[in-house]
Chain A
Amino acid sequence: MKVRFTDPSHRLSQDLVGFAKRLSIMNALVMEPVKSRALIVVANGSPDNRVLLILTHTLDGEKHIDIAFPKHKSVSIFDYIHRYVTLGYEYILIVIDQETMDLNHIINEFHKRVQGVKSSKYINRVIHSEVIYGVHKSSIYVVINGVTDPGV
């Protein structure tokens, strides 16, 4: 797996290029303007971007996936998922940090804020949902990083 930046001028994209260069894994990055069917949205910035780069490099394949670093952080990104859906991505992975929030709170925020949710299930820190918005349809996966009890 390789990653392609949807905003190459973003500071986290530039951070990732420097990080890949230091680790000599530049082959995990795709520079060509070829859009993927899948998108990773990193809702909490660094070091999640670096972890994802290492994971994609470890998976080491020819396919690539787009990666976006939105201005909207944590659960506030749920308000904008439909915009990614309208861009034609078939699979969208949202990576957010649990931080001090309760897991149920995050799940509730997802259902409250995301537009066009047709079906949804939650298993092991992952919310999987089918979203239809206009003529576009996407499978959304929300991965929640953290510990079950935020107090630990």
Chain B
Amino acid sequence: MWTDLANSGITSKVASEVSKVVAEDFIDIPAEPFGGIPSLFMYRSDRFRVRVSDLGDGIQTLIISMLLTEYLNPDIILWDDVESHMIPRTLQYLSLWLSDLVGRGKQVILTTHSLEAATTIARMARDASIVRLELINGELCSQYFSADDVDRLKDLGIDVRA
């Protein structure tokens, strides 16, 4: 699988994309043994290697998600707790990438407990809606909000998650 990924140019494309959110100049993601265990590395333009598992959890999640999505090319993406370990800048980049996926005809369904994540993604991703799910008397009910709705309600002392 990794040979397919590398040969298709996906690893170099993802490395280049990830460089936009970290202060590095990654050019590829080779898989090489580390202590006898196959490991992924971020390969910099100065030929320095950084083990992916040594990077922050948020960046690791972004790298793996991008590699899998670009390789498998799914029509529907389901992502639970999308904001996990992500700093605002990574989240912002993620929003733009998800918006790009939607523009390419994918359907993206995310869950989050973070208002910041919900409003950031809803503002940046094309045609995005925030849906609150609530179990009322055993019936699963949904309510749709825009990012502005969520902010306005917060100003009124209403947290849509509460």
Contact = CB atoms under 8 A, between A and B. Distances in A.
Interface of A: 4-10, 33, 41-42, 68-72, 80, 83-84, 87
B157 A69 contact: yes
Contact of A83 (B156, B159, B162): B156
Contacts of B157: 6-7, 10, 41-42, 68-71
Given A7-B158, A7-B162, 5 more contacts: A6-B158, A10-B159, A70-B155, A70-B156, A71-B155
A80 B162 contact: no
Contacts, number: 39
Interface residues of B, number: 10
Contacts of B162: 4-8, 33
Interface in B54-108: none
Nearest to B158: A6
A72 B158 CA distance: 12
Nearest to A43: B157
A72 B155 CA distance: 7
Those 8 A-B pairs whose CB atoms lie nearest each other, nearest first: A68-B157, A7-B159, A71-B155, A69-B157, A70-B157, A6-B158, A70-B156, A7-B157
B138 to A, nearest CB: 13
A83 B154 contact: no
Nearest to A41: B157
B20 interface: no
Contacts of B159: 6-10
Nearest to A34: B136
28 contacts: A4-B162, A5-B162, A6-B158, A6-B159, A6-B162, A7-B154, A7-B158, A7-B162, A8-B159, A9-B159, A10-B159, A33-B134, A33-B162, A41-B157, A42-B157, A68-B156, A70-B155, A70-B156, A70-B157, A71-B156, A71-B157, A72-B155, A72-B156, A80-B156, A83-B153, A84-B156, A84-B158, A87-B158
